[in-house]
Every structure is written in C-alpha cells, then in structure tokens.
Structure 1
C-alpha cells in the first residue's frame, strides 16, 4: 500500500488540492468566454439600436 494512504492528513490534503487545481485551470477559460459573450451581446444591442434608429428615420 502506498504511503499516501497510510497518512490520513496526506489523503485529506490530496483531496483538497485536486479540486482547487481544477478550478485554477478552468477559471481563466471561463472568464475569457464570459467576457467574449458579454462583448458580443453589447455589440449586438448597439447594432440593433442603430438599425431601429435608421428604420425610424425612414418612416
């Protein structure tokens, strides 16, 4: 049996470290994806406002 399993504190540390490591790896990707989505949303809304204003002027 590996030494890791013989030490309950080491086992707890390993289980605590793994999720944190995963979060640290995925948060930057999630953050950039969220910013890109928000950017597209603002751009789309601005384009819709311009189209609405043009349509109002044509009437």
Structure 2
C-alpha cells in the first residue's frame, strides 16, 4: 500500500493526516538496518520497481501559469 500510494501522489503534496497514516503504515514494513522512518521511506521509494514519480501535467503546472 505504501508503494501504491507514493507512486500515485508525491508525499509532499499529501495533507498532514494522510502523511501520518502513511508513516504509521510504513513502520510495519521498515527494513532491518534502517534507524528512522524517513530514511526507510526514501529507500523504499527509490528501490521499489512499483514506485514511479507522479506525472506532471505541464499545462497546469503552477510555475507555468
């Protein structure tokens, strides 16, 4: 579920409640050897074959408006 959620929506755009839920769920799948949740989240997101960056809609991108 973590991979699915982070693959669809960038973590930074989630509201605080959704971030907290995501972090709570991540605690159950922290790989051994990682000492904090943030490091583990970054690691899982970068190594997971199911995680892809969310597509950027260039026509609606805030920097281009």
- How high is the TM-score relative to the length of structure 1? 0.28
TM-score, normalised to structure 2, is: 0.26
Q: Which structure has greater helix proportion? A: 1
Which protein has greater RCO, CA pairs closer than 8 Å, 6+ apart?
A: 2
Question: Which protein is bigger by CA-based radius of gyration?
Answer: 1
